[in-house]
Structure 1
Amino acid sequence: MITVASYNIRKGLGTDRRRRPDRILDVLHEVSADVVALQEADRRFGARQSALPSDLIARGEYKAVPFDIRPGGIGWHGNAILVRHSVDILDYVPLDLPRLEPRGAVLAELSIGGKALRIVGMHLDLSGLWRRRQVRAVIDQVRSRAPMPTVLMGDLNEWSLNGGCMREFDDGHHVVPLGRSYHSRRPVGCLDRIILTPDLHLVASGVHSSERARLASDHLPVWAKVNWTD
Structure 2
Amino acid sequence: MTLRVERDGAGGVAVVTLDRERRHNAVDLATVAELKAVWRELRHDDAVRAVVLTGAGRAAFCTGIDRDASVPQPSSPYSVDDPLQAIGPKAADLWKPVVAAVNGMACGGAFYLLGESEFLIASRTATFFDPHTSYGMVSAYEAVYMAQRMPFGEAARMSLMGTAERLSAQRAYEIGLVSELAEPGELLEAALRAARTLASFPTEAVQGTVRALWSAKQAALQQALAQAPALIALGNLPPERQAELFAGRRTAPEPQVR
Calculate the TM-score normalised by the size of structure 1.
0.32
More helix, by proportion: 2
More strand, by proportion: 1
Calculate the TM-score normalised by the size of structure 2.
0.30
Larger-Rg structure:
2
